[in-house]
Structure 1
Amino acid sequence: MKIECRVCPHRCKLEEGQVGFCRGRICKGGKVVSENYGKVTAMALDPIEKKPLYHYYPGSKILSVGSYGCNLRCPFCQNNEISMSKNSEVSYSQISCQSLVEKACDLIGRGNIGIAYTYNEPLIGFEFVKDCGELAKKRGLKNVVVTAGYICEEPLRELIPLIDAFNIDLKSFSDDFYKMVKGNLDTVKNTIKIAAKSCHVEITTLIVPGENDRVEEIKELSKWISDIRPDIPLHITRFFPRWKMRDKDATPIETVYHLAEIARQNLKYVYVGNC
């Protein structure tokens, strides 16, 4: 019998032992669970601005952790070594939620304010984020999620009370673009709208030449964000050739700055990145 995963809109139907499209969830014991639970491929005490979050405890640091897997397939993935890998293809260390939270508490003296779930797509590891988030909250730590926002509404709403801040990728304002990366725009828009009601939210758009760099698209994207709240920060960042797009040139710096100026017609806070 196949069991349906309900974390993201792919709704993978998995047989016992089968891993989902995201490479991080598995059918085990008659239910779909996080296969990458507690398996950490990267951990660092980062400046909060690196998430990027510019308007959330600026100048502080946050313990950032990531695993492997992703439920999108961006050919330009900047973290493909872990995001596009599965269990057997990466090196990881196993950590419990209790140990991670203790480590975060130990780093408070170095400016740490909490835990950021990042690097790969953290929400495919929904259970780990939830369990760690609950423990972190009890210890007075902040929970930050850096995500592509491709998650179903029910699990998102379950996590929202635990999360203090999100950086959400709004990769494009085009349905065709999202089809290319095996997602859909409406889901991500819904994630942003729900998160913005309860949490601090900042948004990142990576500008890929010839894919999402049209002025009209950035006008539409920034206007849509401003209709939620014009003070939501938008980070417009520069693409560099990676993974399956190594043949494409890096985004011209002048393009990034120009699109940022366009976005500022609708938004109070627009920043450029990777320039």
Structure 2
Amino acid sequence: MSTIPRSGTPATSSVFADGEISFWYQEIGLPARRPALPGVLEVDVALVVGGCTALWTAYYLKQAQPDLRIAVLEKEFAGFGASGRNGGRLSAEPPGRMRRYARTHGREAAVALQREMFSSVDEVVRVAAEEGIEADIRKDGLLHVAINAAQERRLRERLPVLRAEGWGEDDLVELDRDRLAERVRIAGARSALWSPHCARIQPAKLVRGLADAVERMGVAVHEGTEVTEIRPRRAVTTHGTVRATYVIRAWRGSPPGCAATAGSGCP
């Protein structure tokens, strides 16, 4: 099999073609499918779409209350969507500017959210070690590098804003040219901001390992099970209806049914 490059772009691999789930699954191979929903089911919590949002929710729910009956419902396989095809970066940076959260929930809540995001990076690393999830995790931090005067000015202007949003001196460190060169050498680099709150991961390994972990805890993970409709306390699937006290729409990357994730059906 050969790679067919997009127009104007070179092929970077002779064995990987766009559309084969993701680069990360090219490395580890596609998983064997778990059994589909066998029919009508009654649980306490039904989680629609089997990505990180659902699996982490199931993990902590089971830890808090081990007797909960929890089912994860996924059209393809756990980690098929955005959770298994992201950039491989476990970062504490928020999705968007924190001022948006402050407008709706207040500044203190926004800063508290940022602090929780810092601790979440270490929590993922901790859980992976505890559950024996080999996800090629390496926590070396994150760099924003300025290679011209305009970029350097923007970094410096942004710094006091980030300080006000909860990034302390240990959370975000200014590096001059020499201190940056001790970490990485980039042609023309002038300065940088470095944060320790970031790790490299192999996302497909992480999400598949997390699926195995919640299954060991007693969570039912039903793959090949498309959710076609969500009703109050009901998730209607192609294999039967799941009745649940709580039905959680557990997608984040994009809604189910979108081409980007090929998830578990639009509600």
TM-score category of the 2 structures, normalised to the smaller one: under 0.3
Larger Rg: 2
TM-score by structure 1 length?
0.24
TM-score by structure 2 length?
0.25
